[in-house]
């Protein structure tokens, strides 16, 4: 007898879409997917946004998010097709046989209830355990997942624990009812790399200890390679490639999989510093109004014309605050900023139009950085009118030039932001900042919200544009692979301080300081067993100390 | 100091300050009205000498500020002054009236608040299906019809035709609770119908808003029944907006029942106020105004405090 827990056959999923200016209509987003999952095994579902991976994961609980509906196929769990079973049976399945770990535990925990109440709820509701037994099991799981003070952490409210801890609590929530299958939906994506590695290890060990099967959904192939037995690569609702992890990583057959495996392959030769920096930040100390501590302590960095300075750090390290200080949104308490040979006013009001023009900014969320009611042409044309007084045909000609530079072309000129993909939107934002002919652009996590292949395209574009326009980038990111790909010099920030600063080759070569070492070794690498190696290495080091 | 205590005491202080402002405003407005108490007592045909004498006697010639503080001082000690028309102590005559009004408002609230929240939950449970639409249609209809019309319609059909309940809501101290309730049944029904829609729709909207959250999806994926999801996971997070609108409606039940009281000849504050406004009895109007303001401010303060207490981030700081 085969030990198949989950069998998916020709699964088709549809949704109703509401495109602007058109009638709502139904589309198919998953076009017939097949896979099997044995008890105790882990299947990784990988793909970019829109690949349908979360939708497929939720279909194993007979659940459609929003207007999503399962339109065809079979989903067999424990020997029955859950698409044909009763609603009462589905409720027993959810939270009993199959449980779910979401990307954002912070949003998925009810803020008004204690963690323990929420962790044991499904187990008690499904009559798997009594409340007392469930609580005992929850405490064991808290301990197993490496949560501090496992006996009492359940008495806290979600806002009283950190993001990484909450993500482990969510894993405990999913494991508490002793399910047969857990659907992990990007469980570490929202975490910092140094936190991700601990949570990843905790999840992996919990899966191994409890013998539960798992669907592990992520866009990060390096992550999924660490935890899964098999991998299915999805693209736009179709299976691209399905095989065991070793084969997918080391011997991918399809072009798309090869591209995913080799992503982050941009080579960028480091440039030598010039005598005159375009931006120099001297001794900046800053704090936010109402806080009684500094968020930046004596920050000193320089950026040379036509080069890229990457400011890297985890959330809360002060890297975005630095951008706010440079743009004048947050006047510093101390220190000064020299830009293009002149001292910049610390306050935005004191800056000239020339200062504003030469220092542009691109944001993480291209979506909200554009007026949804303006066309691409209007958006890019605005700085041309504002700074260069261009009108009519002259303006249009320049807009088309810029559209060509960002590889979109003239046909995009009359489109609205809603009609663009994430990557295209970011390109329009880049064109808008280039329209001002700046000397320097601050790029704040500009690729973080994008899929890896799309992000790669944006990075390549930025590098090409740098050559053409001779513009300098201050590139803020938490992603070390991005840093490697595009920077000439690097500043590593930690708790408001620059802990390491210099040319790329120097910053990324040993000997490292402790924090940079931790940061670098936490970036998932695309080979099997990486997670174990890092964890073993760290254990050895801490034993050695 | 615990942040909750701090916030709550801030709210209390703010409420008192607001009440002080309201009292000044009410006093100032009655001052600004043409004529004064002396004029009102003596009537249109009074000679200027008589007016002047009476003003002297009543102390009306002193500066407004002095009189305001005197009045305020009395207010703080529970002395609301004397009625001009019947020379009775206002505090005494208001006392009974106020307790009647609160009695009516209390029973209307006891029925309407849980009913409104339950209907709101029901509407969410069956959203966009017929129960939801029916609840919305009925409550909107009842809020749209003027309350005096509902009152008279009920009197005619329920009291006169069916012979149930009394058409006049007369109550006195010698009645038992059961008799009293029977007597106020019709005005309670009218008030309930008037305030139901507002609270029910707010409950529905607030919960629907919360139903979009990821933690409601988590609850769904735990296999909970719809009703458990709504009351266990959605309702606790929708408390603040619901309490706000509930308190507004409670305040309305106390200060806005004038028309209903008149329709049912109920011996409450509204009747009392209307009677004395027509007689230009300024001290009574002042007293009622301050009492109404206190109730309004008090209830809204309670709403604020409940909203603060409902926030787990404030109740359990890091």
CA distance A499 to chain B (A): 29
Which CB contacts under 8 angstroms, 24+ apart, belong to B60-64?
A: B60/B36, B64/B27, B64/B28, B64/B31
Q: Which of A261, A288, A311 is the last residue of a domain?
A: A261
CA distance A9 to chain B (A): 22
The answer to whether A310 and A503 have CB atoms below 8 angstroms apart is no
Distance of alpha carbon A255 from alpha carbon A240, whole angstroms: 9
A2, pLDDT greater than 60: no
Q: B78: left (phi > 0), else alpha (psi -120 to 50), else beta?
A: left
User: Quick one: angle between helices A392-405 and A422-435, nearest 10?
Assistant: 130
Q: In Å, how far are B93, B146, B190, B201, B256 from B105, measured between CA atoms?
A: 19, 18, 11, 21, 10
Collect all residues of chain B within an 8 Å Cβ-Cβ radius of residue A111.
215, 237, 312-313
* A21 class by beta-carbon count within 10 Å (0-12 exposed, 13-18 middle, 19+ buried): exposed
User: Quick one: angle between helices B3-32 and B282-310, nearest 10?
Assistant: 160
pLDDT for B264-290, tens place per residue?
888 888 888 888 888 777 888 888 888
| Cα angle value A420/A421/A424 (rounded, 5°) | 75
Collect all residues of chain A within an 8 Å Cβ-Cβ radius of residue B313.
111, 157, 159
A495, pLDDT greater than 50: yes
The count of other CB atoms within 10 Å of the CB of residue A525 is: 15
In terms of DSSP bridges, do strands A334-339 and A342-343 run parallel, antiparallel, or are they unpaired?
antiparallel
Nearest CA in chain B to A89: B223
A489 assigned to some structural domain: yes
A545 assigned to some structural domain: no
**A322 and A210 in one domain?**
no
Cβ of A112 within 8 Å of Cβ of B316? The answer is no
Collect all residues of chain B within an 8 Å Cβ-Cβ radius of residue A92.
223
Tokens of B198: 């507002």
Cβ of A122 within 8 Å of Cβ of B213? The answer is no
Residue B76, pLDDT score: 84
Distance of alpha carbon A416 from alpha carbon A507, whole angstroms: 42
Residue A139 vs residue B261, higher pLDDT: A139
CA distance A183 to chain B (A): 11
A23 assigned to some structural domain: yes
Distance of alpha carbon A173 from alpha carbon A121, whole angstroms: 8
Cβ of B312 within 8 Å of Cβ of A159? The answer is yes
Residue A127, pLDDT score: 87
A514 assigned to some structural domain: no
The length of chain A in residues reads 545
The answer to whether A384 and A437 have CB atoms below 8 angstroms apart is no
Distance of alpha carbon B87 from alpha carbon B128, whole angstroms: 59
pLDDT for B82-115, tens place per residue?
887 777 888 888 888 888 889 999 999 999 999 9
Nearest-10 Cα torsion for B132, B136, B138, B142: 160
- Closest-CA residue to B103 (of B231, B18, B191, B4): B191
Mean pLDDT to the nearest integer, A477-489: 87
Strands, E assignment, A85-224: 98-101, 181-185, 213-218
Nearest CA in chain A to B225: A91
**For A162, phi and psi rounded to 5 degrees?**
-80, 170
SS3 A27: strand
pLDDT for A215-251, tens place per residue?
999 988 888 999 999 999 999 889 999 999 999 888 8
- Closest-CA residue to A519 (of A262, A367, A310, A340): A310
The CATH number assigned to the domain holding A139 equals 3.40.50.300
Cβ of A157 within 8 Å of Cβ of B316? The answer is yes
Q: Which residues of B make CB contacts under 8 Å with A? A: 213-215, 217-225, 228, 232-233, 236-237, 310, 312-313, 316, 318
Cβ of A110 within 8 Å of Cβ of B233? The answer is yes
Nearest CA in chain A to B238: A112
* B138 class by beta-carbon count within 10 Å (0-12 exposed, 13-18 middle, 19+ buried): middle
Cβ of A121 within 8 Å of Cβ of B224? The answer is yes
**A290 and A244 in one domain?**
no
In terms of CATH architecture, what is B102-280?
Orthogonal Bundle (1.10)
**A233 and A335 in one domain?**
no
Residue B55 — very low, low, confident or very high, per pLDDT cuts 50/70/90? confident
Distance of alpha carbon A441 from alpha carbon A399, whole angstroms: 19
As a three-state string, the secondary structure of chain B is: CCHHHHHHHHHHHHHHHHHHHHHHHHHHHHHHCCCCHHHHHHCCCCCHHHHHHHHHHHCCCCCHHHHHHHHHHHHHCCCCCECCCCCCEHHHHHHHHHHHHHHHHHHHHHHHHHHHHHHHHHHHHCCCCHHHHHHHHHHHHHHHCCHHHHHHHHHHHHHHHCCCCCCCCCCCCCCCHHHHHHHHHHHHHHHHHHHHHHHHHHHHHHHHHHHCCHHHHHHHHCCCCHHHHHHHHHHHHCHHHHHHHHHHHHHHHHHCCHHHHHHCCCCCHHHHHHHHHHCCCHHHHHHHHHHHHHHHHHHHHHHHHHHHHHCHHHHCCC
Distance of alpha carbon A468 from alpha carbon A464, whole angstroms: 7
Nearest CA in chain A to B234: A110
* Residue range of the domain that includes A419: 279-509
Widest Cα–Cα separation across chain A: 78
Residue A279, pLDDT score: 93
Q: Which of B218, B235, B308 to mutate to test the interface with A (most CBs of A within 10 A)?
A: B218
Tokens of A539: 């254990």
Eight-state DSSP code of residue A160: G
B222, pLDDT greater than 90: yes
- Closest-CA residue to A446 (of A314, A320, A280): A320
Q: Which residues contact A258 (CB under 8 A, 6 or more apart)?
A: A252
Question: Which stretch of DSSP H or E encloses residue A173?
Answer: helix A163-175
Q: Which of A55, A96, A104, A110 to mutate to test the interface with B (most CBs of B within 10 A)?
A: A110
**A337 and A486 in one domain?**
yes
Distance of alpha carbon A391 from alpha carbon A381, whole angstroms: 9
pLDDT for A418-440, tens place per residue?
888 888 999 999 999 999 999 99
The answer to whether A197 and A190 have CB atoms below 8 angstroms apart is no
pLDDT for B237-267, tens place per residue?
998 888 988 998 998 888 878 888 888 888 8
Tokens of A472: 């300098």
**A143 and A169 in one domain?**
yes
Q: Is A453 on the interface with B (CB under 8 A)?
A: no
B126, pLDDT greater than 60: yes
Distance of alpha carbon A529 from alpha carbon B1, whole angstroms: 52
Cβ of A100 within 8 Å of Cβ of B218? The answer is yes
Residue A265, pLDDT score: 62
- Closest-CA residue to B303 (of B255, B252, B246, B254): B246
Stated pTM of the model: 0.78
Whole-angstrom distance between the N-terminal and C-terminal Cα of chain A?
51
Collect all residues of chain B within an 8 Å Cβ-Cβ radius of residue A159.
312-313, 316, 318
Give the CA count within 13 Å in the CB-facing half-sphere of A45.
Answer: 32
Residue A544 — very low, low, confident or very high, per pLDDT cuts 50/70/90? low
The answer to whether A468 and A276 have CB atoms below 8 angstroms apart is no
Residue B72 — very low, low, confident or very high, per pLDDT cuts 50/70/90? confident
**A319 and A437 in one domain?**
yes
Q: In Å, how far are A27, B128, B142 from A23, measured between CA atoms?
A: 12, 21, 36
**% of chain A at pLDDT higher than 70:** 98
Nearest to B215 among A92, A93, A110 (CB): A110
A101 assigned to some structural domain: yes
**A336 and A237 in one domain?**
no
- Closest-CA residue to A30 (of A64, A9, A62, A55): A55
Nearest CA in chain A to B314: A159
Cβ of B312 within 8 Å of Cβ of A63? The answer is no
Starting at the earlier edge strand, list the strands of the sheet with A98-101.
A98-101, A181-185, A213-218, A42-46, A230-235, A238-244
Residue A263 — very low, low, confident or very high, per pLDDT cuts 50/70/90? low
The count of other CB atoms within 10 Å of the CB of residue B94 is: 21
The answer to whether A479 and A448 have CB atoms below 8 angstroms apart is yes
Residue A1, pLDDT score: 41
**A246 and A128 in one domain?**
yes
- Closest-CA residue to B168 (of B270, B94, B154, B178): B154
Eight-state DSSP code of residue A154: G
Q: In Å, how far are B139, B145, B200, B229 from B112, measured between CA atoms?
A: 12, 17, 9, 24
Nearest to B312 among A111, A122, A125 (CB): A111
Nearest CA in chain B to A161: B318
Tokens of A169: 């609590």
Distance of alpha carbon A178 from alpha carbon A141, whole angstroms: 11
Q: What's the gap between Cα A396 and its chain centre?
A: 36
Nearest CA in chain B to A126: B223
Collect all residues of chain B within an 8 Å Cβ-Cβ radius of residue A99.
221-222
**A315 and A170 in one domain?**
no
Distance of alpha carbon A60 from alpha carbon A80, whole angstroms: 12
**A283 and A256 in one domain?**
no
Nearest CA in chain B to A94: B223
Number of domains in chain A: 2
Mean pLDDT to the nearest integer, A150-165: 89
The answer to whether B110 and B307 have CB atoms below 8 angstroms apart is no
CA distance A139 to chain B (A): 19
The answer to whether A49 and A451 have CB atoms below 8 angstroms apart is yes
In terms of DSSP bridges, do strands A472-477 and A308-312 run parallel, antiparallel, or are they unpaired?
parallel
Tokens of A340: 């293009």
Q: Which of A65, A112, A173 to mutate to test the interface with B (most CBs of B within 10 A)?
A: A112
**A375 and A245 in one domain?**
no
- Closest-CA residue to B101 (of B248, B250, B257): B257
Strands, E assignment, A229-382: 230-235, 238-244, 279-286, 296-303, 308-312, 334-339, 342-343, 359-362
Residue A255 vs residue B85, higher pLDDT: A255
SS3 A176: coil
**A130 and A45 in one domain?**
yes
């Amino acid at each position: 007898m085969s030990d198949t827990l989950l069998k998916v056959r020709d699964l088709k999923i549809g949704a109703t879409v509401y495109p602007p200016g058109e009638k709502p209509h139904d589309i198919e987003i998953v076009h017939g997917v097949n896979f099997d999952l044995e008890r105790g095994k882990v299947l990784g579902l990988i793909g970019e946004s829109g690949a349908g991976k979360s939708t497929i994961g939720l279909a194993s609980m007979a659940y459609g998010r929003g207007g999503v509906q399962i339109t065809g196929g079979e989903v067999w769990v424990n020997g029955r097709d859950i698409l044909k079973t009763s609603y009462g049976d589905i409720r027993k399945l959810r939270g009993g046989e199959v449980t779910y770990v979401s990307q954002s535990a912070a949003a998925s925990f009810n803020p008004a209830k204690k963690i323990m109440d929420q962790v044991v709820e499904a187990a008690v509701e499904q009559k798997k355990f009594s409340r007392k037994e469930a609580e005992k099991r929850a405490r064991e799981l808290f301990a197993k997942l490496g949560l501090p003070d496992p006996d009492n952490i359940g008495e806290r409210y979600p806002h009283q624990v950190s993001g990484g801890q909450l993500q482990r609590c969510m894993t405990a929530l999913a494991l508490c009812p002793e399910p047969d299958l857990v659907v992990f939906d990007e469980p570490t994506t929202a975490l910092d790399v140094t936190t991700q590695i601990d949570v990843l290890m905790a999840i992996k060990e919990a899966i191994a200890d409890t013998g539960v099967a798992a669907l592990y959904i992520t866009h990060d192939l390096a992550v999924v390679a660490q935890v899964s037995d098999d991998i299915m690569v999805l693209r736009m609702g179709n299976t691209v490639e399905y095989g065991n992890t070793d084969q997918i990583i080391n011997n991918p057959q399809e072009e798309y999989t090869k591209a995913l495996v080799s992503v982050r392959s941009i080579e960028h030769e480091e440039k030598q510093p010039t005598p005159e920096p375009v931006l120099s930040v001297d001794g900046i100390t800053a704090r936010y109004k109402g806080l009684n501590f500094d968020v930046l302590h004596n920050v000193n960095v320089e950026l040379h014309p036509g080069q890229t300075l990457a400011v890297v750090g985890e959330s809360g390290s002060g890297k975005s605050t630095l951008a706010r200080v440079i743009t004048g949104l947050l006047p510093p308490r101390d220190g000064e900023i020299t830009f293009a040979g002149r001292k910049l006013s610390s306050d935005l009001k004191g800056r000239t139009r020339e200062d504003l023009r030469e220092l542009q900014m691109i944001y993480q969320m291209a979506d909200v950085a554009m007026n949804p009611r303006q066309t691409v042409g209007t958006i890019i044309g605005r700085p041309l009118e504002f700074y260069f007084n261009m009108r009519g045909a002259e303006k249009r000609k320049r807009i088309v030039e810029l559209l060509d530079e960002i590889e979109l072309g003239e046909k995009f000129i009359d489109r609205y932001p809603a009609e663009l993909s994430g990557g295209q939107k970011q390109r329009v934002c880049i064109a808008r900042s280039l329209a001002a002919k700046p000397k320097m652009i601050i790029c704040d996590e500009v690729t973080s919200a994008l899929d890896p292949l799309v992000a790669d395209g944006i990075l390549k574009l930025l590098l090409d544009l740098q050559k053409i326009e001779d513009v300098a980038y201050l590139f803020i990111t938490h992603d070390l692979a991005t840093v490697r790909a595009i920077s000439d010099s690097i500043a590593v920030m930690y708790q408001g301080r620059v802990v390491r600063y210099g040319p790329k080759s120097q910053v990324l070569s040993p000997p490292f300081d402790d924090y940079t070492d931790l940061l670098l070794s936490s970036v998932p690498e695309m080979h099997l067993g990486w997670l174990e190696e890092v964890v073993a290495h760290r254990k050895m080091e801490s034993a050695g100390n | 100091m615990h942040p909750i205590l701090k916030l709550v005491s801030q709210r209390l202080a703010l409420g008192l300050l607001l009440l002080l402002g309201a009292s000044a405003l009410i006093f100032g407005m009655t001052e600004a009205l043409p004529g004064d108490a002396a004029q009102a007592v003596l009537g249109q045909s009074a000679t200027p000498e008589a007016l002047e004498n009476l003003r002297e006697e009543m102390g009306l010639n002193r500066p407004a500020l002095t009189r305001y503080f005197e009045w305020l001082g009395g207010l703080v000690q529970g002395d609301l002054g004397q009625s001009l028309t019947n020379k009775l102590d206002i505090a005494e005559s208001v006392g009974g009236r106020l307790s009647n009004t609160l009695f009516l408002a209390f029973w209307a609230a006891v029925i309407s608040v849980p009913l409104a929240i339950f209907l709101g939950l029901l509407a969410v449970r069956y959203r966009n299906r017929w129960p939801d639409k029916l609840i919305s249609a009925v409550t909107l209809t009842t809020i749209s019809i003027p309350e005096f019309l509902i009152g008279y319609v009920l009197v005619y059909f329920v009291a006169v035709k069916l012979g149930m309940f009394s058409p006049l809501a007369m109550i006195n101290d010698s009645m038992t609770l059961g008799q009293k309730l029977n007597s106020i049944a019709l005005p309670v029904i009218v008030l309930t119908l008037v305030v139901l829609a507002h609270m029910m729709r707010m409950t529905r909207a607030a919960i629907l808003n919360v139903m979009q959250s990821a933690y409601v999806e988590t609850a769904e994926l735990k296999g909970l029944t719809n009703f458990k999801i709504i009351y266990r996971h959605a309702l606790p997070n929708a408390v603040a907006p619901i309490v706000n609108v509930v308190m507004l409606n409670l305040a309305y039940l106390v200060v806005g029942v004038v028309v209903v009281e008149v329709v049912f000849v109920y011996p409450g504050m509204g009747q009392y106020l209307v009677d004395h406004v027509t007689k230009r009895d300024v001290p009574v109007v002042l007293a009622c105004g301050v009492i109404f303001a206190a109730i309004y401010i008090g209830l809204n303060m309670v709403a604020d405090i409940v909203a603060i207490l409902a926030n787990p981030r404030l109740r359990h700081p890091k």
